[in-house]
Amino acid sequence: MTPHHVIVFLEAKEGKEDLLKDALMNVAKKSRAEEGCLDYQVIQDKSTPQKFGLVEKWQSQEVHQEQFSKPYILEFAKQAESWLAKPFEALFGHQCDASH
């Protein structure tokens, strides 16, 4: 099975970066405990601390899709809506390598 990779870009409103960071760290901790989560990292931009990235690796796209029904994801989405400066952007795919 080919791993499913996800990169998400989020930008907090001015003054909301700590709230967003704490919530993202909570989501990351809970996601890492999920069966099928191979990696889940939260990145904060050094020069623009309102900008965050999530780098995720899942066993499959199906396993990743199951994530969206988890109570902690639904709660995060509800809370984060008022903290974000703009809608998040996401990239879904697979890792490219030299053999392809």
Q: Give residue limits of the domains in the chain.
A: 4-92
pTM over 0.85: yes
Report helix, strand or coil for 32.
helix
The pLDDT tens digits of the residues spanning 8-33 come to: 999 999 999 999 999 999 999 999 99
Say what the pLDDT of residue 98 is.
65
Cα–Cα distance measured from residue 44 to residue 64, given in angstroms and rounded to the nearest whole number: 22
Rounded Cα distance between 41 and 97, Å, is 21
Kindly report the CATH class assigned to 4-92.
alpha beta
Q: Is 44 exposed, middle or buried (0-12, 13-18, 19+ CB in 10 A)?
A: middle
Confidence bin at 95 (pLDDT 50/70/90) = confident
